[in-house]
Amino acid sequence: MRTLAVECDSRGELLGASPAFLATLAQIRRMATSEAPVLIEGETGSGKELAARAVHYWGGRNAGPFVPVNCGALPDNLLEAELFGHERGAFTDAKLSRGGLVAEADGGTLFLDEIDALSAKAQVTLLRFLQDQRYRPVGSSREMSCNVRVIAATNQPLAEAVQQGRFRCDLLYRLKILHLILPPLRLRVGDAELLAQHFLRVLCAKYRLPLRAFDRATLDWMRHHPWPGNVRELENWVHRELLMADTPVIGLTDVPPGDSTAQAAATVPFRDAKAQAVLAFERDYVMAMMRQTGGNVTRAAQLAGKERRAFGKLVKKHGVGRGDLG
């Protein structure tokens, strides 16, 4: 398996070689060629901000700023001032005029992380801005305009939030012109070991330690652990194991909580546990490929590197239909 490491900016890189990762990378490169809004969905720790940075730095706005905004940290009473700035005296403690994050991102990209955390009032405010990218700083009568590309991210499918009445459907339509679903680490076959060894090299250099390695049993365990916290969980686990290791070869000393694979191995015969794991992987993988292609079996088979007939049998075997794709 070859290693593919692609630099996004001076602070990060995308790393992987699995079919799921390569399919995602191809989508990111395609999205970077336009300036349309992007909605990135993926589990916690799957690399949504890194993907957003790649879209920005591989696109035509790479000379402009990339401004991340944690929507979950913006209270309603400060939202407009944080985004659009304010005039002196607009509210208590506004002793000086200040530009907002939108003005800071002018000519570049505004990254709205945890977009699902916005309140109903905040969603209206954002929707109004997205219509024509015009706004008024708080306390000002002057209307201003900017030129930003908007990328939003969430770890909760926004379509479900709309169905539950927690998110405006018109705002979803504004944000979801381009849609990227990041695959969880458990579907990126082989990438856990590759990433772990990369993190180990980086951390050894950081702490000025001789280069360490994982033993074979630990590498095998990495392949089968579901990594519910995805790449972030893996990186933190490698960090802890390195700091606690007493030998040049690192063995498994601490199984992360919720390791369903280890629990199953303790209560189910090996052959049965393996069969269950294979079935679960097959269904998750097929669903990920079908989501990436909008339900197109032919294209999904190409991404998976399988013949269409064989992939179609997997789709039928696991009963994956369009209704399952979200």
- The CATH number of whichever domain residue 141 belongs to comes to 3.40.50.300
pLDDT digits (tens, 9 = 90+) for 148-174: 999 999 998 999 999 999 999 999 999
Q: Pick from 149, 181, 213: which residue ends a domain?
A: 181
Q: Pick from 161, 181, 201: which residue ends a domain?
A: 181
- Cα 124 vs. chain centroid, distance in angstroms? 25
The pTM of this model reads: 0.78
Q: Verify that 31 and 101 share a domain, yes or no.
A: yes
How many folded domains does the chain comprise? 2
Alpha-carbon span 19 to 304, nearest angstrom: 6
Q: Pick from 133, 157, 181: which residue ends a domain?
A: 181
Q: Are 195 and 229 in contact (CB under 8 A)?
A: no
Q: Tell me which residue range forms the domain holding 108.
A: 4-181
Assign 12 a pLDDT band (cuts: 50, 70, 90). low
pLDDT digits (tens, 9 = 90+) for 38-89: 999 999 999 999 999 999 999 999 999 999 999 988 888 788 888 987 676 4
Q: Verify that 192 and 156 share a domain, yes or no.
A: no
**CATH number of the structural domain spanning residue 240:** 1.10.8.60
Q: Verify that 307 and 274 share a domain, yes or no.
A: yes
Q: Verify that 72 and 147 share a domain, yes or no.
A: yes
Residue type, position 173, single letter: Y
Q: Verify that 119 and 67 share a domain, yes or no.
A: yes
Q: Verify that 20 and 156 share a domain, yes or no.
A: yes
Q: Verify that 34 and 75 share a domain, yes or no.
A: yes
Q: Verify that 141 and 16 share a domain, yes or no.
A: yes
* Of 121, 126, 151, 140, nearest in space to 38 by CA: 151
Alpha-carbon span 249 to 254, nearest angstrom: 15
SS3 320: coil
Q: Verify that 149 and 230 share a domain, yes or no.
A: no
Q: Verify that 76 and 136 share a domain, yes or no.
A: yes
Q: Cα Rg for the chain, rounded, in angstroms?
A: 22
- Cα 39 vs. chain centroid, distance in angstroms? 10
Query: Greatest CA span in the chain, whole angstroms?
Result: 72
What Cα–Cα distance (Å) separates residue 93 from each residue in 78, 96, 224? 12, 8, 54
Alpha-carbon span 242 to 77, nearest angstrom: 44
Q: Verify that 87 and 106 share a domain, yes or no.
A: yes
